[in-house]
Amino acid sequence: MIINARFITSLAKFDINFASHFSEVAFLGRSNVGKSSLINSLCKQKNLAKSSSTPGKTQLINFFEVLCQKNEDKFNIYFVDLPGFGYAKVSKNLKEEWNIHLDEFLKLRTSIKLFLHLIDARHINLEIDKELDGYLKGFIRPDQKILKVFTKCDKLNQSEKAKLKNYFQDAILISNLNKFGLDRLENEIIDQVLGL
């Protein structure tokens, strides 16, 4: 379980001098999919990660130190909140710069053990998400894993949820609004980081 969390720092790009002593969980997804809100929900804090109604608000790579407990053992991990991709309201040049920096960060940051690919449960087959999936699979190492997390599932009816689970067998469905699926995701994150 997650006990508490605190903001550590923000980086504009990969920094060899910012070493990690912990395993890291990277939160990826298109703008406005709910990355910051999910981090707040998992860490049980309202304003830890700044969420905004303006897509593309997160422009830096934000690090949060998270204290976890499994049985009697306590340990720290980092949550890494990454800039959303897609329809962020920024200039083309800035977007290209972001993409270069993110690409470098994701490939060189060896302490990342888990990529959480967040997908809006109402839009499960967007080209942008298929591209991200293929991109991650293109360089993922044997000690890393990708987990698909479908957000905003409170907006689906039962048959839509069933269809989604059928389509993505190992999908985790969550809702920040009614806290649905958060316990399962929390356990999954901890087990993956510990290599269980």
- Using one digit for the tens of pLDDT, what is the confidence trace for 147-179? 999 999 999 999 999 999 898 988 899 998 899
More confidently predicted of 24 and 99:
24
In this structure, are residues 105 and 27 in contact, taking their beta carbons and an 8 Å threshold? no
**Model confidence pLDDT, tens digit, residues 29-46:** 988 898 999 999 999 998
Q: DSSP letter string over 181-194?
A: THHHHHHHHHHHHH
Distance CA 104, CA 87 (A): 21
pLDDT band at 195 (very low <50, low <70, confident <90, very high): confident
The DSSP code for 30 is B
- The two beta strands, 61-70 and 2-11, are antiparallel
Average pLDDT over residues 115-140: 92
**What's the predicted TM-score (pTM) here?**
0.90
Q: What is the pLDDT of residues 61-106, one digit of tens each?
A: 999 999 999 999 999 999 999 987 765 555 666 567 667 888 899 9
Q: Give Dmax over CA atoms of the chain in angstroms.
A: 49
pLDDT of residue 26: 96
User: Mean pLDDT lowest for which of 48-52, 123-127, 129-133, 150-154?
Assistant: 48-52
Q: What is the pLDDT of residue 12?
A: 87
- Which tokens is 159 given? 């048959």
Asked whether residue 53 carries a pLDDT value surpassing 70, the answer given is no
- Residue whose structure tokens are 């469905």: 173
Percent of the chain predicted with pLDDT > 70: 90
Question: Where does 86-180 show beta strands of DSSP type E?
Answer: 112-120, 145-151, 172-173
pLDDT for position 89: 54
pLDDT score recorded for residue 90? 54
- Pick the closest to residue 82 from 24, 135, 121 (CA basis): 24
